[in-house]
């Protein structure tokens, strides 16, 4: 029994060495995550069938007198002889890895071969091998559905159980059943279950290593994406490309990083920077092909890179296109000075980075377009204020021309000056408080000329003239108060404009002592057009939309009203004119 134990230990060791070599083959490693696919199952059947046949061929022959015959390659047996081998080990592992289909088919192949090897005797090996493959496969399927593999204890117990099934078949159906089982029971039970555990441990150790590596890579990629987002989202410029290339080199194993637009080199960090210089045209054949095709290219030699400069240290490269809106906007080039460093892992990494960086570029362009649209909308809203004020001013001047042409002439010049400076407000989203106050004073001079002593407008300014606010902000509120707050009241109409600063905020309040706003209209003002005999609320809605568009909902108009008057408050971030 000891001799058999040692001989079987050699066979198990051979299988485990081959298992270790198998797991280090990239093709097999790529197969494991896809083990539920039909194509993967077919390949697994071929691989494990080879292992099972090898187990039969390398078995230890046992004669009818229980003598051991150790040969290098066992091709045939006498009908009365038996084999002690590692077949059950391989069938069990095939089921645990590939499921019941793989396990059963490998068991069928191994069992048929064992019967042929014994010159047609011991047909029960076919049935026992299929059953072992199917049972271990069902256990494997249970764990595969949970995207995992059996634990070490489950694997060892499965190996022990499958070998026990084989022993029961031998005991029941073999000519020398009891004698044979007494000889092989302990060596095969111990070694095959141990071998099953080690075989699966080799596979699961690789899986865990891969998972840990992916976790580390995912962390690094997310960190890299976070670092490069501000640069790629600002567009492909020389400055942003240089900063992005530096970050990418820091977070990856590449020796050099280059970034181009559709024509020129924007940045190059690392070896080769003496001739891969920004602002020069793209010179490598590899980059030109990527720009033309829009597909990733991999070069494993200097010749494939196609750099025209002799002595260029760059020996291998991956060039990926940066695609925005289905057009190649540029390339990201990752180089090695040693071509052996370029592996499948780097290629996969490059593919992922291409998608991330292209998305960042697209995001930047989308944000820019969104900003342009938002600015255009705000400028359009600002432009809508001018006709509103313009028609009021013209009516005032027209009425004045009947009584005082000189005064009308002066007001017309003032109106001309107002609109000339007003053009700046249409072009810009923010102007200074001083400019806004000039607009309001120009408006008031026109209104008070038409209605002398009817309105008393007071300015309480506790803020710097250089503080910024949207054009026509105060003017709209003052005009709205003058037009709608006092109805037909002739005297005692007061409007107060208060501006102050605190805690990085600018406070604007325009209040009046008018008759107040009807309760049913108050919630609608600033949010929608209202139907009222006194006005539609268009100016307030316009202003409110501009404020929210520039600063967010926190800047929305705050309207409070009672029978004693109305106040409209605005709270926006405090910014100063840099000029």
Residue 420 has pLDDT above 70, yes or no: no
Q: Between residues 230 and 102, which one has the greater pLDDT?
A: 102
Residue 5 has pLDDT above 70, yes or no: yes
For residue 2, name the pLDDT band (cuts at 50, 70, 90).
Answer: confident
Most trustworthy range by pLDDT among 149-163, 347-361, 535-549: 149-163
Q: Between residues 36 and 136, which one has the greater pLDDT?
A: 136
| pLDDT at site 534 | 60
Most trustworthy range by pLDDT among 212-226, 289-303, 307-321, 493-507: 493-507
Q: What is the DSSP string of 43-83?
A: HHHHHHHHHHHHHHHTPEEE-TT--EE--SS-----TT-EE
User: 525 is written with which tokens?
Assistant: 């003002």
Residue 553 has pLDDT above 80, yes or no: yes
Going from N- to C-terminal start, the domains of the chain cover 2-212, 235-342, 369-573
Residue 36 has pLDDT above 80, yes or no: yes
Architecture of domain 2-212: Orthogonal Bundle (1.10)
Provide the strand spans (E) within 201-344: 256-261, 265-269, 297-299, 316-324, 327-336
Contact by Cβ (8 Å): 225, 242: no
Q: Between residues 289 and 360, which one has the greater pLDDT?
A: 289
Maximum C-alpha span of the chain:
140
Q: What is the DSSP string of 163-229?
A: HHHHHHHHHHH-TTHHHHHHHHHHHHHHHHHHHHHHHHHHHHHHHHHHHHHHHHHHHHHHHHHHHHH
Residue 291 makes CB contacts below 8 A (sequence gap 6+) with: 260, 262, 282, 321, 328, 331
- How far is Cα 534 from Cα 50, in angstroms, rounded to an integer? 93
The model carries a pTM of 0.52
Q: What is the mean pLDDT of residues 33-45?
A: 92
Between β-strands 505-512 and 493-502, what pairing exists: parallel, antiparallel or unpaired? antiparallel
Kindly report, residue by residue over 367-399, the tens digit of the pLDDT.
765 665 565 555 555 555 556 567 767 877 887
Q: 359: buried, middle or exposed (CB in 10 Å: 19+, 13-18, 0-12)?
A: middle
User: Cα–Cα distances in Å, from 253 out to 112, 335, 425?
Assistant: 51, 10, 52
Contact by Cβ (8 Å): 231, 223: no
Q: What is the mean pLDDT of residues 228-245?
A: 83
**Angle between the 238-251 and 177-232 helix axes, to the nearest 10 degrees?**
150
Kindly report, residue by residue over 118-131, the tens digit of the pLDDT.
887 789 999 999 99
Supply angle C-alpha 227, 233, 236, rounded to 5: 105
Kindly report, residue by residue over 466-506, the tens digit of the pLDDT.
899 988 889 889 988 988 888 878 888 999 999 999 888 99
Q: What is the mean pLDDT of residues 518-533?
A: 77
User: Cα–Cα distances in Å, from 276 out to 270, 273, 285?
Assistant: 10, 5, 13
Kindly report, residue by residue over 205-235, the tens digit of the pLDDT.
888 887 777 666 677 777 878 888 888 777 7
- How far is Cα 208 from Cα 217, in angstroms, rounded to an integer? 14
Contact by Cβ (8 Å): 462, 500: yes
For residue 160, name the pLDDT band (cuts at 50, 70, 90).
Answer: very high
Q: Which residue has the tokens 């080990």?
A: 89
Q: What is the mean pLDDT of residues 55-84?
A: 82
- How far is Cα 427 from Cα 471, in angstroms, rounded to an integer? 10
Q: What is the mean pLDDT of residues 99-121?
A: 91
Percent of the chain with pLDDT over 90: 29
Query: What is the Cα gyration radius of the chain?
Result: 42
| pLDDT at site 531 | 67
Q: How far apart are the first and last CA of the chain?
A: 97
Contact by Cβ (8 Å): 61, 81: yes
Q: What is the mean pLDDT of residues 357-373?
A: 71
Architecture of domain 235-342: 2-Layer Sandwich (3.30)
- How far is Cα 218 from Cα 455, in angstroms, rounded to an integer? 68
Provide the strand spans (E) within 405-491: 431-432, 455-462, 468-469
- How far is Cα 156 from Cα 150, in angstroms, rounded to an integer? 10
Residue 305 makes CB contacts below 8 A (sequence gap 6+) with: 284, 285, 286, 299, 312, 314, 315, 316, 317, 335
User: 546 is written with which tokens?
Assistant: 């501009």
What is the dotted CATH code of the domain comprising 369-573?
3.30.565.10
Task: Kindly report the average pLDDT of the chain as a whole number.
Answer: 84
Q: Give the distance, in angstroms, between the CA of residue 387 and the centroid of all CA atoms in the same chain.
A: 47
Contact by Cβ (8 Å): 462, 501: yes
Domains 235-342 and 369-573 equal at CATH topology level: no
Contact by Cβ (8 Å): 73, 8: no
**Angle between the 2-23 and 38-57 helix axes, to the nearest 10 degrees?**
150
């Amino acid at each position: 029994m000891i001799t058999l134990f040692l001989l079987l230990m050699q066979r198990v060791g051979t299988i485990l060495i081959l298992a270790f070599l198998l797991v280090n083959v990239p093709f097999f490693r790529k197969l494991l995550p896809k083990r539920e696919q039909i194509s993967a199952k077919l390949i697994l059947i071929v691989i494990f069938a080879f292992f099972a046949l090898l187990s039969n061929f390398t078995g230890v022959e046992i004669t009818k007198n229980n003598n051991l015959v150790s040969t290098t390659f066992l091709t045939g047996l006498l009908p009365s002889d038996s084999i002690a081998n590692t077949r059950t080990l391989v069938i069990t592992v095939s089921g645990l890895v590939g499921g019941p289909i793989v396990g059963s088919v490998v068991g069928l192949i191994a069992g048929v071969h064992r019967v042929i090897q014994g010159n047609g005797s011991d047909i029960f090996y076919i049935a026992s091998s299929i059953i072992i493959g199917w049972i271990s496969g069902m256990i494997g399927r249970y764990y595969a559905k949970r995207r995992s593999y059996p634990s070490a204890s489950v694997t060892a117990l499965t190996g022990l159980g499958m070998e026990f099934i084989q022993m029961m078949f031998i005991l029941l159906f073999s000519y020398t059943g009891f004698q044979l089982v007494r000889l092989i029971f302990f060596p095969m039970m111990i070694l095959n279950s141990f071998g099953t555990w080690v075989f699966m441990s080799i596979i699961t150790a690789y899986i865990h290593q891969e998972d840990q590596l992916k976790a580390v890579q995912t962390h690094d990629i997310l960190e890299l994406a976070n670092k490069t987002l501000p640069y790629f989202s600002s567009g492909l410029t020389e400055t942003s490309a240089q900063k992005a290339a530096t970050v990418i080199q820091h977070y990856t194993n590449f020796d050099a990083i280059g970034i181009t637009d559709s024509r020129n080199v924007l940045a190059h960090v690392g070896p080769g920077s003496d001739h891969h210089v920004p602002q020069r045209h793209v010179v490598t054949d590899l980059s030109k092909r990527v720009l033309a095709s829009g597909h990733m290219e991999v070069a494993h030699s200097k010749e494939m890179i196609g750099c025209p400069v002799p002595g260029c240290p760059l020996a291998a490269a991956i060039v990926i296109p940066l695609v925005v809106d289905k057009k190649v906007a540029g390339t990201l080039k990752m180089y090695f000075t040693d071509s052996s460093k370029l592996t499948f892992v780097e290629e996969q990494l490059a593919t992922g980075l291409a998608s991330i960086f292209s998305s960042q570029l697209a995001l930047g362009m989308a944000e820019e377009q969104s900003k342009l649209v938002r600015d255009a909308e705000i400028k359009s809203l600002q432009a809508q204020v001018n006709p509103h004020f313009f028609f009021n001013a013209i009516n005032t001047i027209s009425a004045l021309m009947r009584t005082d042409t000189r005064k009308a002439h002066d007001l017309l010049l003032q109106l001309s000056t107002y609109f000339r400076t007003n053009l700046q407000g249409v072009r810009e989203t923010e102007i200074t408080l001083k400019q806004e106050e000039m607009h309001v004073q120009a408006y008031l001079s026109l209104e008070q000329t038409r209605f002398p002593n009817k309105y008393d407008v007071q300015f309480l300014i506790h803020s710097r003239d250089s503080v910024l606010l949207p054009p026509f902000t105060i003017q709209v509120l003052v005009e709205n108060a003058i037009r709608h707050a006092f109805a037909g009241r002739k005297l005692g109409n007061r409007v107060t404009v208060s501006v102050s600063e605190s805690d990085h905020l600018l406070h604007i309040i325009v209040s009046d002592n008018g008759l107040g706003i009807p309760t049913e209209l108050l919630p609608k003002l600033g949010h929608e057009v209202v139907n009222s005999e006194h006005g539609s609320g268009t100016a307030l809605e316009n202003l409110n939309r501009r404020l929210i568009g520039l600063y967010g909902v926190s800047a929305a108009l705050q309207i409070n009203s009672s029978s004693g008057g109305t106040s409209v408050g605005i709270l926006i971030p405090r910014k100063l004119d840099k000029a």
